[in-house]
Chain A
Amino acid sequence: MEFVGKYIIRFVVLMLLQILVFNNIPAIGMISPYLYVAFILLLPVSMSPSLVLLMAFATGFIIDLSINSLGVHASAMTMMAVFRPKILDIMAPRIGYEANNEPLMSVFGFGWAARYTLACVAIHHIMLYFCFTFTVENISFMFVKVLINIILTVLIILITEKFVIKK
Chain B
Amino acid sequence: MKELFAFIEKHSFILLFFVLQIISFILIVNFNEPQKSQYGAVSTAFQGKLHSVTHKITQYFYLEFANRRLVEENAKLYENQEFSQYDNAVNSSVVEDTEYEQQYEYIPAKVLNNSINKIQNFIVINKGWKQGIQKNMAVICPTGIVGVVVRTSQHYSLIMTVLNTNFKVSTRFKNSGFYGSLSWSGQNYKLATLEEIPLHAVIKNGDTLVTNSYSNLFPSGIMVGTVESFYQNDNFFSADVLLSTDFKRLDYVYVVKDLFKKERQNLEGAE
Q: Which of B18-46 contact A (CB under 8 A)?
A: 20-21, 23-32, 34-35, 38-39, 42
Contact B16 A50 (CB under 8 A): yes
Return the chain B residue nearest A56 by Cβ: B20
Q: Within the assembled complex, what's the spacing in Å between the Cα atoms of A135 and B38? A: 8
A59-84 near B? 1/0 per residue, CB < 8 Å:
01000100011111011001101100
Number of contacting residues on B, CB 8 A?
22
The smallest beta-carbon distance between B222 and chain A, in angstroms, is 71
Q: How large is the interface on A (under 10, 10 to 19, 20 to 34, 35 or more residues)?
A: 20 to 34
Contact A53 B32 (CB under 8 A): no
Q: Within the assembled complex, what's the spacing in Å between the Cα atoms of A13 and B45? A: 45
Main SS of the interface on chain B?
helix
Task: Indicate if B13 sits at the interface (CB-CB under 8 A).
Answer: yes
A75-B28 in contact given A134-B39, A135-B38 (Cβ < 8 Å) = yes
Contact B35 A53 (CB under 8 A): no
Contact A131 B13 (CB under 8 A): no
Residues of B within 8 A of A50 (CB): 12-13, 16
Q: Which of A125-167 contact B (CB under 8 A)?
A: 131-135
Contact B31 A71 (CB under 8 A): yes
Q: Within the assembled complex, what's the spacing in Å between the Cα atoms of A49 and B17? A: 10
Contact A64 B17 (CB under 8 A): no
Contact A74 B35 (CB under 8 A): no
Residues of A within 8 A of B12 (CB): 50
Task: Indicate if A36 sits at the interface (CB-CB under 8 A).
Answer: no
Contact B28 A72 (CB under 8 A): yes
Contact A78 B21 (CB under 8 A): yes
Q: Within the assembled complex, what's the spacing in Å between the Cα atoms of A50 and B17? A: 8
Residues of A within 8 A of B30 (CB): 70-71
Residues of B within 8 A of A135 (CB): 38
The smallest beta-carbon distance between B258 and chain A, in angstroms, is 79
Task: Indicate if A116 sits at the interface (CB-CB under 8 A).
Answer: no
Contact A131 B28 (CB under 8 A): yes
A70-B13 in contact given A131-B35, A134-B34 (Cβ < 8 Å) = no
Q: Within the assembled complex, what's the spacing in Å between the Cα atoms of A159 and B167? A: 115
A72-B32 in contact given A64-B27, A134-B39, A135-B38 (Cβ < 8 Å) = yes
A36-55 near B? 1/0 per residue, CB < 8 Å:
00000000000001100110
Contact A53 B28 (CB under 8 A): no
Contact A70 B20 (CB under 8 A): no
Residues of B within 8 A of A34 (CB): none
The smallest beta-carbon distance between B11 and chain A, in angstroms, is 11
Q: Within the assembled complex, what's the spacing in Å between the Cα atoms of A68 and B25? A: 15
Q: Within the assembled complex, what's the spacing in Å between the Cα atoms of A132 and B24? A: 12
Q: Within the assembled complex, what's the spacing in Å between the Cα atoms of A72 and B23? A: 10
The smallest beta-carbon distance between A88 and chain B, in angstroms, is 14
Contact A71 B25 (CB under 8 A): yes
Contact B20 A78 (CB under 8 A): yes
Contact B20 A74 (CB under 8 A): yes
Q: Which of A10-38 contact B (CB under 8 A)?
A: none
The smallest beta-carbon distance between B107 and chain A, in angstroms, is 71
Residues of B within 8 A of A133 (CB): 34-35, 38
The smallest beta-carbon distance between A47 and chain B, in angstroms, is 12
Return the chain A residue nearest B39 by Cβ: A134
Return the chain B residue nearest A48 by Cβ: B13
Contact A70 B16 (CB under 8 A): no
Q: Please report A residues at the B interface, Cβ cutoff 8 Å.
A: 49-50, 53-54, 57, 60, 64, 68-72, 74-75, 78-79, 81-82, 131-135
Q: Please report B residues at the A interface, Cβ cutoff 8 Å.
A: 12-14, 16-17, 20-21, 23-32, 34-35, 38-39, 42
A-B contact pairs, 8 of them (CB 8 A): A70-B28, A70-B32, A71-B23, A71-B30, A72-B24, A78-B17, A131-B35, A133-B34
Q: Which 10 A-B pairs have the closest CB atoms?
A: A71-B27, A75-B24, A71-B28, A70-B31, A134-B38, A78-B20, A70-B27, A71-B24, A74-B24, A82-B17
